[in-house]
Amino acid sequence: MLTYFKAFRRTLAVAAVALAAFSLQPGSAQAQDPTARPGPGVVGGTRAAQGEFPWMVRLSMGCGGALYTQQIVLTAAHCVDGSGPNTSITATAGVVDLQSSQAIKVKSTQVVQAPGYTGTGKDWALIKLAKPVNLPTLKIADNTAYNNGTFTVAGWGAATEGGSQQRYLLKANVPFVDDATCQKAYGGALTPGDEICAGYLEQGGVDTCQGDSGGPMFRKDDAGAWIQVGIVSWGEGCARPGYPGVYSEVSTFAANIRTAAASLGG
């Protein structure tokens, strides 16, 4: 069974013509290791409206992310090459159309990859930007209360397995899949304490895909505000029946993320 990270793999797959193609950037999971587990993209999605998810960020290495603060992006550990000073990443924000003249583009200054990350579990990272972006941020879940129900995923990744990256932000809804059911699909490859699964198990058809890695999986909280419960991580292909998407479980790492963000001073 071939599984891989969704650094250039997870995208909202829709039955649409492939739009702008992006070359695989150094630092993505597949660039580092061609045999690595694939990442998700959004398959079966529809276009998001301008301003619908204002905290969404596209990263130049071929991943997604969300504004944790106006100067820090939360993404996946497998999207970056480690911790330390880093000015090689460009974050694009404020638009659903990556070719829009209104796009806000900001360079990175520093990266924190999850301490102890070895390629399994702990799939989160923070990227500090050179200056704040004046856009809303996405709060993260600090307990498991919202690890259920129906989630929303969004990204500029491939709309079909093996397809091209998208010019426009796509969105889709996916239902929660419990750990026991998800382990039937992935066995020991799943790290239940670190990961949360979502997708249409029997029919497939909706999922993240290549290029969606690092993007948020989110839902409404009890007050009706968006809250992030997952980070696009990996899966077996895109939207395949029997294989839900696997996401880093944000609540597990909330305290670590807060500590790392404080260390960045953003």
Active site residue 60: no
Q: Tell me which residue of 61, 86, 245, 35 sits closest to 154, measured CA to CA.
A: 245
Catalytic-role residue among 78, 164, 207, 212: 78
Q: Which of 83, 123, 212, 248 is catalytic?
A: 123
Dihedral-angle region of residue 199 (phi above 0 means left; psi in -120 to 50 means alpha; beta otherwise): left
123 catalytic residue (yes or no): yes
Within 10 A of 143 (CB to CB), how many other CB atoms are there?
A: 9
Q: Which residues contact 195 (CB under 8 A, 6 or more apart)?
A: 121, 123, 182, 233, 246, 247, 248, 249
Query: Of 213, 233, 248, 251, which is the active-site residue?
Result: 213
Judge whether 78 counts as a catalytic residue.
Answer: yes
Non-local (6+) Cβ contacts of 153 within 8 A are 12, 40, 42, 45, 171, 172, 173, 174, 198, 208, 212, 215, 216, 217, 218, 232, 245
> Which residues, at least 6 apart from 199, have a Cβ–Cβ distance to it below 8 Å?
174, 175, 177, 206, 207, 235, 239, 243, 244, 245
Annotated active-site positions, please?
A: 78, 123, 213
